[in-house]
Amino acid sequence: MDTKERNEKIELYGRGYDLLKAALAEVPQEALHFKPEPKEWSVYEIIIHIADSESNAALRARKLIVEPGGSIMGYDQALWADVLKYHEHSFEDALEVTRLARKTTYELLKRIPEIVFNTHWIKHPEYDEPYTFDKWVDVYSAHIPGHIEQIQNNMIAWKNMKK
């Protein structure tokens, strides 16, 4: 990934929380717990997942900066949602965790030297090849937009169910 593309993705990453809040403004309170299918997440559960994922992402970014060549943990997101009972978590706290994880990590990304992006990598249990900083930028710049699409699809299913 060249510097221009990376910077564009970092800026998208930086806007992620605001994009999420705008998408949530379109979700009525009564639709928050709607699940399109029993195994799919509600908007409420998506928000709790995002908080957990963004917390992990913030740690992974720091690990890439400080301890290149080390290892990070993977996690089973569906298992976390089930065992941690996402529907019992605080929606507002999850949004605040997401806001702060994004804000502090975005500010950090803007300060690190280019060489870190070009040379640092870590071992990720879900990938055979080294997990580079460019891979991190790819994954997490798209994370919230991907879940916004999921939220919008939930809303379409919810509205169709109400007809």
Q: What phi and psi values does residue 131 have, to the nearest 5 degrees?
A: -90, 100
Quick one: which of 95, 60, 91 has its CA closest to 75? 60
Please list the ranges in the chain whose pLDDT falls under 50.
none
pLDDT value for 1: 87
Q: How many CB atoms lie within 10 A of CB 106?
A: 18
Q: Name the residue range of residue 37's domain.
A: 3-162
The pTM assigned to this predicted structure is 0.94
Give the per-residue pLDDT at 163.
Answer: 73
Convert the pLDDT of each residue in 45-82 to its tens digit. 999 999 999 999 999 999 999 999 999 989 999 999 99
Please state whether beta strands 131-132 and 121-122 pair in parallel, antiparallel, or not at all (unpaired). antiparallel
User: What CATH number is associated with residue 51?
Assistant: 1.20.120.450
Per the structure, the count of domains in the chain is 1
Greatest CA separation found in the chain?
A: 55
